[in-house]
A and B are shown apart, each in its own frame.
Chain A
Amino acid sequence: MKRGNTPLLIFILVLFGFCLWVILPGTEIFGRDEFKLGLDLKGGSHLVYSIDLSKKDPAQSDADVIEGVKNKIERRVNAYGVTEPIVQTIRNERGSFVLVQLPGVKDIDEAMNLIGQTAELDFREVVLDAEGEPELDEEGNVQWVKATAKGSDEQERELTGKYLKPNAQVVLAPQTNEPEVAFEWNSEGAILFEQITQRNLQKPLGIFLDNQLISAPTVQAVIKEKGVITGLNLDEARTLAIQLNSGSLDVPLTLVERRDIGATLGEDSLRKSLMAGIIGSTMVVIFMIAYYRFSGFVACLALVVFVTLNLAIFKLIPVVLTLPGIAGFIVSIGMGVDGNVLVAERLKEELRRGRTLGAAIEEGFRQSWSAIFDANVTVFIACAVLYWLGNTFGNFLVIGFATTLFIGTALSMFTQVVVTRTFMRTFVGLGVAKSPGAYGVLRQ
């Protein structure tokens, strides 16, 4: 046995044992006890909204507006109760976008209402004519004007949702059992609200959300701090409460991409891919052993190490596993035998030339390394470009494939060269499989 081989063998076995432990179901490491599955496997919704920066307040910078939108959407999504949501911003030459992933969400329409609405709340007074009667337009509708009042600094201000404390909640009205959203004003809001309710006693006060009238209760008393919004069903009330607490968006959003995947479809796909992976790998194992005999067997042991290490990396990083990601991993299993095939072929040649087994192994590996390395550079280039491509438009499927193929290829270089060689040297050192026939070389 070559010097230095035993420590390397121990290192590989320890690493293998550790990785095996990591991937066992139930092992908790870095606060995570299972693989992180992508949206296409868990089911859920992937939404991309375009942020209309042309509507922003000129005083604000683009970056602030985008950051604000992201934070508010994050708050909305978290309050809605989705596990492991993703909210990301994407900026490119087409504009600015916010990407939202909601795994496992059941009612997508409700979720989209919650996220996509600007949720600008304001209060409006009825426009009165000279006789003090409500002024009507041609169709006989009441005209509304935004209610303003003097703030603490004597400036005239519109009363909007931005003066609310973030503690709005859904309550049921004591008598009617109708859902209501109860809110509280902050100190500035209370100053404005007091003046407005005073001015509008016994008159209707319109509550508008994104320029849509929700309700127009008649003001019964002068109110400072608190109020309720009625005229909503339970879902709407819940959505509104979350929106009021997270704050209205500074600019409108438009939905530009939507991908919904049913949970059952995801489960079904996962099962199918795993089955494909198992059957494919089994065929590779049978083929390698049948053709390369002992080298093939060692290659398969190395393949087991490769798969285990790879899965452990997926769990540790964690890599978000998607269907194309699993495909990339499975493809890297197939391609991962390449190095072993190169080495085994070289080995056969060297044995035919009459070298001793030990010398043939060393020569086989020495000659194959440059080819193994060179061969994988092109795959790395392709993966890097794909990763960039996936990121520019938030395509998690493309990113998934590029990531796992990259990890798989890099790791297979390690297993092909280090693991296979160490195993080979060990077996040869132990005197196992001495005849050239065991390597698929026919006796002449």
Chain B
Amino acid sequence: MIDLVGKRNWFFLISAIVIIPGIISLAVFGLQPGVDFSSGTAMTLSFDKEVELSQLRQELTDLGYDEAVVQPAGGGDFFVRLPEISAEETTKLKESLETGLGTTVTISSLYSVSPIVAAGTVRNTVIAVVVASIGILLYISWAFRKMPKPFRWGTCAVIALVHDLVVVIAVFSILGWVAGLEVDALFVTGVLAVVGVSVNNIVVVFDRIRENLKRGVSRDFAVIANYGIIESLGRSLNTGLATLFVIVALYLLGGTTTHTLVLALLIGIATGIYSSLCIAGQLLVVWEKGFASRRKEATSTA
């Protein structure tokens, strides 16, 4: 049988390799808030003839929008992000660009949010995250009531869950300054959905470990845990794969509107599979026996 518990320190190391740079990035650069959270006007512009990025950027600077963020949006379109501008200013901007660039400009999508709405969104998002966390914690304490040491098992589940969330947020932070990826309300949606799916994986694995504990498969908790993890391997991998198939398809083919949502789901669900198999149960073992390596455990429990 594969020994996933024995290799636990390697798994912790792998997670640390992802999480530590992520946390540093988060501390230094934070996340790039989209207009939902920071207010502003974001639009996608399409042109009748080919326009260079530098040309558009120059034109916007000339019009007095020095703070404009311009990114190519594929197919010759550009994504432009400005501080909040009014409807009249938007119309004027479009007309000025048309004369400046000598082409018809179409605003194929526009999203404008004022500071009052953005502040409300930030506040409500914080409330939603807090409420969801409380709900999930209540659920976990309920789901683990049958476990031998509910507090310990619950805590390990929460650590594994936080692990998944940190990975998602860290990757968005890194992509934020590398590729200008912004977080919006749909990112939060994706993260909360990840919470739901992730807890679920951990519960399935823990359920198996508990079952094996009751059956008395072994006297060594590390063996019991490993047995439970291996038994869940098929289910966790296969359900995870099926879910990832559709998410990858959505990510590659689904268009840009749901980009942040799907990316958060993709990273979060993939990480969730990993953490449920390689982190959660292993944490239980560590709590039970400390960080000692497998060989030493074998002699001490014998």
Contact = CB atoms under 8 A, between A and B. Distances in A.
Given A393-B121, A402-B189, A323 B257 contact: yes
Contact of B117 (A257, A269, A335, A338): A257
Given A287-B241, A334-B244, A334-B245, A272 B117 contact: no
B128 A388 contact: yes
B196 A379 contact: yes
Given A277-B249, A330-B246, A401 B189 contact: yes
Contacts of A324: 186, 189, 257-258, 261
Interface in B170-200: 185-186, 188-189, 192-193, 195-197, 199-200
Main secondary structure of the interface of A (DSSP, over half): helix
A262 B106 contact: yes
B234 A389 contact: no
A147 interface: no
Given A382-B192, A398-B189, A279 B253 contact: yes
Contacts of A388: 128, 131
Contact of B120 (A277, A280, A323, A393): A393
Contact of B246 (A277, A323, A378): A277
B254 A341 contact: no
Given A337-B239, A401-B186, A374 B143 contact: yes
Most-contacted residue by chain B among A264, A287, A334 (CB, 10 A):
A334
- Main SS of the interface on chain B? helix
B125, B196, B204 interface centre (most CB from chain A within 10 Å): B196
Interface in B200-258: 200, 203-204, 207, 234-235, 238-239, 241-250, 252-258
B239 A327 contact: no
A382 B114 contact: no
Interface in B93-138: 106-114, 116-117, 119-121, 123-125, 127-128, 131-132, 135-136
B261 A334 contact: no
Given A261-B109, A386-B128, A398-B189, A374 B203 contact: yes
Contacts of A333: 246
A331 B249 contact: no
A327 B258 contact: yes
Contacts of A395: 36, 121, 185
Contacts, number: 227
B255 A268 contact: yes
B265 interface: yes
Contact of A345 (B113, B207, B234): B234
A393 B124 contact: yes
Contacts of B262: 327
B87 interface: yes
A375 B200 contact: yes
Interface string A86-97: 000000111100
B12 interface: no
B291 interface: no
6 contacts: A94-B119, A94-B120, A260-B107, A261-B109, A382-B193, A401-B193
B139 interface: yes
Nearest to A409: B196
Contact of A381 (B132, B239, B245): B132
A48 B242 CA distance: 39
A48 B185 CA distance: 16
B120 A334 contact: no
B132 A382 contact: yes
Interface string A230-262: 000000000000000000000000111111111
A256 B113 CA distance: 6
B125 A273 contact: no
B23 to A, nearest CB: 24
Given A335-B239, A341-B238, A382-B196, A273 B109 contact: no
Top 9 nearest A-B pairs (CB, nearest first) are A280-B246, A280-B249, A382-B196, A334-B243, A334-B246, A379-B196, A276-B253, A375-B200, A256-B114
A370 B139 CA distance: 14
Contact of A331 (B139, B188, B243): B243
- Interface residue range, chain A: 35 or more
Contacts of A380: 196
Given A397-B189, A398-B188, 18 more contacts: A50-B116, A94-B119, A256-B117, A259-B109, A261-B108, A277-B249, A287-B245, A327-B258, A331-B193, A331-B246, A334-B246, A335-B242, A341-B238, A379-B197, A381-B139, A389-B128, A397-B186, A401-B189
B299 interface: no
A405 B189 CA distance: 11
A391 to B, nearest CB: 10
Contacts of B248: 280
Contacts of A389: 124-125, 127-128, 185, 188-189
A260 B114 CA distance: 15
A291 B36 CA distance: 43
B54 interface: no
B207 A371 contact: yes
B242 A327 contact: no
B116 A95 contact: yes
A154 interface: no
A93 B128 CA distance: 15
A222 interface: no
Contacts of B197: 335, 378-379
Nearest to B135: A381
Given A50-B116, A256-B113, A276-B250, A377 B108 contact: no
Q: Which of B108, B119, B247, B257 has the most CB of A within 10 A?
A: B257
Contacts of B300: none
B301 interface: no
Contacts of A331: 193, 243, 246-247, 250, 265
Contacts of B188: 389, 398
Contacts of B261: 324, 327, 401
Contacts of A93: 120, 123
A120 interface: no
A376 B200 contact: yes
A338 B111 CA distance: 37
Contact of B128 (A259, A341, A385): A385
A264 B195 CA distance: 34
A265 interface: yes
B131 A385 contact: yes
Contact of A398 (B112, B139, B185): B185
Contacts of A137: none
Contacts of B186: 324, 397-398, 401
